[in-house]
Amino acid sequence: MKSASGTVLAERLTAQGLAGPPLPDPPAVAARLLAVQGQDPRGFRLAVRARTEGLSAADVVRALDGRELVVSWLNRGTLHLVRSEDYPLLQALTTPPLFSSCARRLRQEGVSEADAERALKTIERALAGEGPLTRAQLRERLESAGVPTEGQALIHLLFLAAVRGLVVRGPVLGGQHAYVLVREWLGDPSPPPDRDAALGELARRYLAGHQPASDRDLAKWAGLPLRDVRAGLAAIASQLEEGDDGLARLKRRPAVAETPAPRLLGAFDPVLLGWTSRADVIGEHTALVTRNGVFHPFAMAGGRAVAKWGFPGGEVKLQPLERLPKAVAAALETDAADVVRFLSG
C-alpha cells in the first residue's frame, strides 16, 4: 500500500496524541487510543510517556492497581491495555472470533476439552479464594489440579480464561502482572450491548484515535470481518465525513497540530499498529518490524522513524537509521534523559 500523504500523517499523529497538547494521564491515553498493544510491559508504559508530560511509569502501575486500567487479550488475540470502562465493549466484540483458534491451539498442546474446562474452574476457584495471582502462582494451582501446563499450554489456558471473559490482568504484584476475576475486579458485567450500536461505538472510538482511516484499517486493528466494521461505520454515518482520499473522519475532531518534536517511542507503539500500512512512519526502515512480529523501539523526527534504540543497563542507546541533523540528535538526547527519568519513577 502507498504511504499516507503528509496531511494524512499529520492528522493521524494528532489523533494519536503524539502531536498537539499532551494528554493528562494514563487513562486518558487509553481513552484516546481505545486499546494500546500490551504484550510488552515497558512498551505500553512508554506509549503513555510519549503522549503525556511529566508522568512516570509508576503512574501507569497506579492506574492498574487502582482498577482504572486493565490488560487482556482482545483485538486480534493480542494483549491490550484498555480502560476498565472500555473493556466490556472490546470483550463483547473482539473475542468471539478467537474461540476456535484457542481451542485448536489447546489441542495442539495436548490439552483436552475436559482439561480446559477443569482449568477454568481451577483458575476461578483460586482467584476467588486467594485474590490476585501471578502466572507462576496459577501454574502451581493448575498443576495441583492435574491440568497440563507444559510448553505453551499454560499461556493458552490463560488466554482461554481471558477470551471467555473470566479474567483480566489487573494489579502489579512484586513487578509481576497478576490476574484477577473480572466480576470481582470490575463488578458484575452489564447486559451485552445491542450489537449494531456496539459496532458503531467501536468505529467512533477507533476513529477518534486513528482518523483518517478506512474500513480495512479498522478491520485489521480490531480483528473483525469487514462486514462488521462496515456495519459499525454505517451506524455512525451521520457523524462522519469522507475526504477526497476516501478515508473516514469524524466531523467533530481536533484541529491538526504541528509536527511533534523528535521523540523516542517504545516497542509496539500504537502509531505502527493502527492501519493496514505503516509505511508513512517507517518508510524504507522496514527492519523496525521483524518477520516474527517484533516491533522495535524507535525514534521519530518529523513524524517519521529515524533511529532504533535500546535500554541496556538502564541507559538509552540510539542506533541512527540515517544521518541525524544536529538539532534532531540533540532533541533525542534530551528525550532519552526523560525516558530514563520516566522508567525510574
**According to the model, what pLDDT value does residue 1 have?**
35
**According to the model, what pLDDT value does residue 19 have?**
98
**According to the model, what pLDDT value does residue 3 have?**
45
> Of 314, 99, 93, 323, whose CA–CA distance to 223 is shortest?
93
Phi then psi for residue 7, to 5 deg, are -65, -45
Low-confidence ranges of the chain (pLDDT < 50): 1-3
Distance CA 205, CA 185 (A): 24
**According to the model, what pLDDT value does residue 191 have?**
73
Q: What's the pLDDT tens digit per position in 324-342?
A: 999 999 999 999 999 999 9
Distance CA 247, CA 259 (A): 21
Q: Which residues pair with 177 in a beta bridge?
A: 172
Burial of 190 (0-12, 13-18, 19+ CB in 10 A): exposed
**According to the model, what pLDDT value does residue 295 have?**
95
Distance CA 83, CA 87 (A): 6
Put the strands of the sheet holding 263-265 in their side by side order: 263-265, 298-301, 304-310, 317-320
Q: What's the pLDDT tens digit per position in 251-276?
A: 999 999 999 999 999 999 999 999 99
Q: pLDDT averaged over the chain? A: 95
Distance CA 98, CA 18 (A): 31
**According to the model, what pLDDT value does residue 5 have?**
72
